[in-house]
Structure 1
Amino acid sequence: MTRTISEKRQAFRALHEDGCFVLPNPWDVGSARYLASMGFKALATTSSGFAWSIGRPDNGVSRDAVIAHLREMVHATDLPVNADFESGFGSNPAEVAQSVRMAVDAGVAGLSVEDSTGDAKSPLLPVNAAVERLAAARRAIDETGGDTLLVGRAENFVAGVPDLEDVIARLRAYAQAGADCLYAPGIQTREQIEAVVAAVRPKPVNLLIGGPSAFTLDELAKLGVRRVSVGGALARAAWGGLVASVQSLAEGRFDSLSKEPSGGWLNSVFKDPA
């Protein structure tokens, strides 16, 4: 069964209506197809994972390259794809709107817009400026059919400003500006999660689990989390295996080269269906 872009978007929105689902983050077509084979219901791109795969740092990839990547990922599987769209690829709301239209045209089922600046001296946009950019993204989506899901992100905890009150104020403002789903990467404790969920209810909340965690999906569901993504964690895991093997090669040894997964197994994953 091949779903249309509209059908993918409808399925993605339905996932946000109740329950809690894992939204894993592939970084290329191969990882996307493997994750799809494992029964996940949707995927999300990772800006960091994609950047590393082409030899660039996170937030160091051009808009054109990201749009081409999104188009490729959308067509890699039959699953809805949520775009890690960084800060919207625009220096002002009008440019953000233009970029969002391009992402929608690429076929994504959802996209997120961040409020970080990349400037260590002033790591977050003023709330009003961030709201204007998100509202511009909302208008762009509405003008292109309105079925692409918009995610508003408060980057405080990953930008070095771990102020939960400010996170909540920002997320509420982003919800008012038209965000369908809210996201505060970096929150970790039960208390932080409960506070964010309560603050934006009934809108769904995305939680980032970027490393080992004692939480289970069932526990997060009970806390009110609607979806769980892992950011660049899967890409880092892949790089970890590569780094370990390459280190032995650099030392003139071959004992760290893994036989698993086998080439035969990988071929079976990517074999075209009959």
Structure 2
Amino acid sequence: MTAGGGVERFRSLHHGRAAGDPLVLPGPWDAASARIFADAGFEALATPSHGVSASLGYEDGHTPADEMFAAVARIVRAVDVPVTADIERGYGLGPEEIVERLLESGAVGCNLEDSAGGELVDPRRQADFLTAVHEAAGGRLFVNARIDTYLRGSAQPMADALVRGRLYVAAGAECVYPIGATGGDIGVLARELNVPVNALARVDGGPSPRELGAAGASRITFGGGLAQRAGAAVERLARELRGG
């Protein structure tokens, strides 16, 4: 079963947005947090691999595929808004199986990142991978291509992001996520790539979602930041209960 409205509803939320009014996608880490965000009125949600992994007792990047897809399915079942899933690089699954597992979970889209083991993947290899996922999905999933040049020590992160972004858009990605890009870089990428750009908003300072939207982002996500903030609140509660 697909979350409320399905992929076409989710796809439409990315377009026709005014500057400064991006699509803000909180990142639930379990069904309870998903319901809280949906009840607050958010139009859609985006699961973060970091937050979901922590909720399952794993370090980010070490969650078994079965457990991640099961967690996504529980989140989807808990809400009536579209849910897209961060599935890292697909857990070593082939494109057809990635699509099948996502559709079984009810997710309407996914993030696929272009680094592995802390290193950037060759962009043409990544483009081929995205092409295969896009073709297997046949329009049934909204693919957000994460670009890791700002994370992985590129000497020219924006120039490299443009090269990668052009390849990924040609491969069928409907949105690009240059994680870590801010300010003017976001605007350049949005103009040059002519697809929605996903920006990372940090909960510990930095540009607000509205400011990132004004810079050119059409979509805002938070990575594992919201789960980490909730975890910090639980830590404070634990200390209070212990009398510390």
Same fold per superposition (TM over 0.5): yes
| Paired position in structure 2 for 1:231 | 223
Structural mapping, 1:99-114, within 5 Å: 99-114=98-113
Q: Which amino acid aligns with 1:171?
A: G
1:31 corresponds, among 17, 28, 33, to 33
* Aligned partner of residue 5 in structure 2, secondary structure: helix
Q: Which structure has the larger Rg over C-alpha atoms?
A: 1
Which residue does 2:5 correspond to in 1?
7
Q: 2:16 aligns with which of 11, 15, 18?
A: 18
With over 3 angstroms needed to count, the CA separation of the structure-2 counterparts of 1:21 and 1:61, relative to structure 1, is: same
2:77 maps to 75
| Whole-Å separation in 1 of the counterparts to 2:232 and 2:34 | 19
Q: How many residues align?
A: 239
Name 1:211's counterpart in structure 2. 203
In 2, Cα distance between equivalents of 1:55 and 1:183: 27
TM-score of the pair, normalised by structure 2: 0.90
Equivalent-residue separation in structure 2 for 1:229 and 1:36 (angstroms): 15
Provide the C-alpha distance between the structure 2 equivalents of 1:217 and 1:18, rounded to a whole number of angstroms.
Answer: 17
CA deviation digits over 1:159-207, x for unaligned, max 9? 333622111110111000000111111112x121112112211x11111
Amino acid at match of 2:86: D
Asked if the contact 1:186–1:208 (Cα under 8 Å) also holds between the matched residues in 2, the reply is: yes
Q: Which moved more, 1:49-58 or 1:6-15?
A: 6-15
- 5+ long unaligned stretches in structure 2: none
Supply the distance in 1 between the matched residues of 2:153 and 2:206 (Cα, whole angstroms). Answer: 24
Higher relative contact order (CA 8 A, sep 6+): 2
Structure 1 residue 161 and structure 2 residue 154: aligned? yes
Cα RMSD, aligned residues only: 2.0
Conserved in 1, the CA contact under 8 Å of 2:2 and 2:76? no
Distance 1:221 1:210, change over 3 A: closer
Question: Residues 9 and 80 of structure 1 are in contact (CA less than 8 Å); yes or no, is this contact kept in structure 2?
Answer: yes
Give the aligned partner of residue 166 of structure 2: 172
8 Å Cα contact 1:88-1:100 kept in structure 2: no
Q: 1:241 aligns with which of 218, 221, 233?
A: 233
Structure-1-length-normalised TM-score: 0.81
Letter in 1 for 2:53: A
> Shift of residue 248 of structure 1?
6.1
Counterpart position of 1:136: 132
Q: Which residue of 2 aligns with 1:56?
A: 58
Does structure 1 retain, via aligned residues, the 8 Å contact 2:53–2:68? no
* Aligned equivalent of 1:269: none
Q: Which string of whole-angstrom CA distances, capped at 9 and with x for unpartnered residues, describes residues 222-261 of structure 1? A: 3321111111111000111223344566xxx415xxxxxx
Whole-angstrom CA distance in 1 between matches of 2:228 and 2:96: 31
The equivalent of 2:176 in structure 1 is 182
Flag structure 1 segments of 5+ consecutive residues without an equivalent: 256-274
- The amino acid of 2:5's aligned partner reads E
Partner of residue 243, structure 2? 254
